[in-house]
Amino acid sequence: MTLTRKPVAFGDLRGWIETLRKSGELHEVNAEVDIDFEIGTIMRLAQGPGTGPAMLFNNLKGYNKPDSRCRRIFGSSLNNNRRIAMMLGLPPETHPRDLVKLGRTILQDAIAPRIVKDGACKENVIAGKNVDLAELPAPYWNRLDGGRYLITYAGVVTKDPTTNVMNVGVYRGMVTSRNTIPILMWRAQHIGHHVTEWRAKGAKEMPIAVAIGWEPSMGFCAGSPVPKGICEYDVMGAIRGEPVDLVKCETSDLYVPASAEIVIEGMLGLEEDTYQMEGPYAEFTGYFAGDRSPKPTIRVTAITHRNDPIMRGTIEGCMPGSYSENAMISSIFRSSTAWNVLDRAGVPGIVDVWGPPVQAGINLNVAIKQSYRGQAKQVANALWGSSAAHVRYKQVTVVDDDIDIHDYAAIDWAIAYRVNAGENDIVIMPATFGLGLDPSTRKRDRDPTLFGTGKWNRVLIDATINLDYDPDPEFGGTRYPPTVWPSKEDEAAARARWTELGLDKLKRG
Ligand SMILES: Cc1cc2nc3c(=O)[nH]c(=O)nc-3n(C[C@H](O)[C@H](O)[C@H](O)COP(=O)(O)O)c2cc1C
């Protein structure tokens, strides 16, 4: 199937919310809800396995006075494939397989942003001593969180001091005082590269801006691996089919979407004695990461916001029955990335790639058209040898192209009857780099300060038909017996009588 995108510029967060409302994708909560634990619990329970609605909370305890600075929280909008398709300008019913295919190229397109003089995000400007982050609703999303998280799904903007190219990433941030927010940023992320470059120039602080609440492409691009040197604003422009209007910050020369709901401007401390304690926080694995430690901290210099702004937040951490926005998006785009890795490595016959949302590509399924012995091992080797495998693709299952990898029962059946551990179908690649957040790795082995990375013992499950077996004359020269499924002719003849036999009403078979 060839996908034709009709890019949509929603205008701002409000335009996106309006689109969702009209399409029946939004659930508004008008009853009073507590931002301490209750809102997070409701969102986690309501999101379901990719089936829940986007949610707008209109009545927040402690933030529902007429003069409260920010009175609403919006979230859960991209934890569903229908809404991911809508963001990309595709029909809501687009199959995830097609989203994966589109994801192979979507982050490479660009429409440069447009600089404008003013924007709605400047309707209110609070600077210097007047800044008080407590005026913004930063929920305690989970009981075990280390504090209130204001930055959960925002665009964190920094720039390279030499090239001036900006980067927009999602990095969580916890409020520690009226004007400080330590953030979690891994050194390998693009913001980490900027930190290194500013430090090399002798800077003690680096300008930073946090844009909260805009069109869905902002969180999507900021949370995705847009290649270094390409600014996420360009990719956001390509996704919406129009340039993103940007305004200059009040206290730095960074630029933010002009119609963002809230912008937090500040300086990120680069010296370790300015770090503040941050964490723990619910992680994407569905577990809390025991990572309370001193982190680089934003010293807030200004807050600007629209009139009656809407806070954008997300509930992080994915579990069976409750899929997060991060998990739904990662599932698609980590699959796309894996497919590109396999193509670049020259592995032939790749038919489909899929890492289901519940584990967001930690386990990856690949369907191939086998043409020679050892092809499944080539798949695993290519994936594990790529840097994309650092935090993904721990278990790789390879099946033949008659298996639908979007159907777990089909994969399970292939594993049951096409895997023989005594015939090298289970291969362990021990002690590779890996995700530092995986609790199945001993704590010491995933200490990034000791080893720079986690440690994974990876597994290939080769559930393809073994081409090492001899062709069997009894089965007409194939290596495996025929399945019990009827021939095409017998099936067509039976289907032709389906209605006559009253079987169409059973909705089965
Ligand atoms: C909801 C969400 C939360 C995230 N939290 C963090 C985080 O706290 N720290 C981090 O380094 N990456 C985090 N990520 C992943 C980064 O956003 C992602 O790796 C992105 O590619 C980083 O941008 P960059 O490639 O420009 O560095 C998060 C992603 C999402 C979607």
Question: Do 268 and 308 have their domain in common?
Answer: yes
Residue 94 CA to ligand 1 centre (angstroms): 26
In this structure, how many other beta carbons lie within 10 angstroms of the beta carbon of residue 225?
A: 15
Residue 217 CA to ligand 1 centre (angstroms): 14
The token duo for 500 is: 């006559």
Q: Is the peptide bond before 66 cis (omega within 30 degrees of 0)?
A: no
88 lies in a domain?
A: yes
Pocket test for ligand 1, best of 78, 150, 189, 224 (most atoms within 8 A of CB): 189
Question: Do 346 and 260 have their domain in common?
Answer: no
Question: Do 145 and 291 have their domain in common?
Answer: yes
Buried b (16+ CB within 10 A) or exposed e, 292-309: eeebbbbbbbbbbbbeeb
Question: Do 238 and 364 have their domain in common?
Answer: no
Q: Whose CA is nearest to atom 28 of ligand 1?
A: 170
Question: Do 216 and 114 have their domain in common?
Answer: yes
Buried b (16+ CB within 10 A) or exposed e, 94-120: bebbbbbbbbbebbeeebebeeeeebb
Nearest atom within ligand 1 for CA of residue 190: 27
Nearest atom within ligand 1 for CA of residue 168: 26
Task: Kindly state the DSSP code that residue 376 receives in the 8-state scheme.
Answer: H
317 lies in a domain?
A: no
Residue 195 CA to ligand 1 centre (angstroms): 15
CA atoms within 13 A on the CB side of 131: 22
Where does a domain end: 281, 312, 343?
Answer: 312
| Phi, psi at 329, each rounded to 5° | -70, -45
In this structure, how many other beta carbons lie within 10 angstroms of the beta carbon of residue 407?
A: 11
Pocket test for ligand 1, best of 156, 171, 220 (most atoms within 8 A of CB): 171
Buried b (16+ CB within 10 A) or exposed e, 131-142: bebebbbbbbbb
Q: What is the pLDDT of residue 506?
A: 80
Residue 187 CA to ligand 1 centre (angstroms): 12
Give me the CATH number covering residue 337: 3.40.1670.10
Q: What is the pLDDT of residue 405?
A: 98
CB 390 within 8 A of CB 434: yes
Question: Do 162 and 299 have their domain in common?
Answer: yes
Query: Which stretch of DSSP H or E encloses residue 248?
Result: strand 245-248
Task: Kindly state the DSSP code that residue 372 receives in the 8-state scheme.
Answer: S
Per-residue pLDDT reduced to its tens digit, 50-103: 999 999 999 999 999 999 999 999 999 999 999 999 999 999 999 999 999 999
d(CA 154, CA 99): 23
Indicate the length of the chain as a whole number: 509
Nearest atom within ligand 1 for CA of residue 225: 21
Question: Do 261 and 382 have their domain in common?
Answer: no
Nearest atom within ligand 1 for CA of residue 193: 27
Question: Do 344 and 392 have their domain in common?
Answer: yes
Strand partners, 157: 168, 209
4 lies in a domain?
A: no
Q: What is the pLDDT of residue 1?
A: 60
Residue 324 CA to ligand 1 centre (angstroms): 14
Question: Do 181 and 207 have their domain in common?
Answer: yes
Residue 365 CA to ligand 1 centre (angstroms): 24
Residues near ligand 1 with C-beta < 6 Å? Answer: 153, 167, 169-172, 184-186, 189-191, 223-226, 314, 316, 326
5 lies in a domain?
A: no
Q: What is the pLDDT of residue 83?
A: 98
Owning domain of residue 495:
473-506
Question: Do 93 and 222 have their domain in common?
Answer: yes
In this structure, how many other beta carbons lie within 10 angstroms of the beta carbon of residue 493?
A: 11
Strands 310-312 and 72-75: parallel
Q: What is the pLDDT of residue 226?
A: 86
The token duo for 381 is: 């080797």
Q: Whose CA is nearest to atom 9 of ligand 1?
A: 171
Residue 189 CA to ligand 1 centre (angstroms): 8
Q: Whose CA is nearest to atom 5 of ligand 1?
A: 171
Question: Do 277 and 353 have their domain in common?
Answer: no
Domain count, the chain: 3
List, for the chain, all residue ranges whose pLDDT scores fall below the cut of 50: none
Burial class (CB in 10 A: 0-12, 13-18, 19+), 347: buried
Residue 169 CA to ligand 1 centre (angstroms): 6
320 lies in a domain?
A: no
Residue 226 CA to ligand 1 centre (angstroms): 11
d(CA 285, CA 317): 6
Question: Do 147 and 57 have their domain in common?
Answer: yes
d(CA 497, CA 199): 75
Q: Which amino acid is at 207?
A: P
Of 326, 397, 388, which Cα lies nearest the Cα of 171? 326
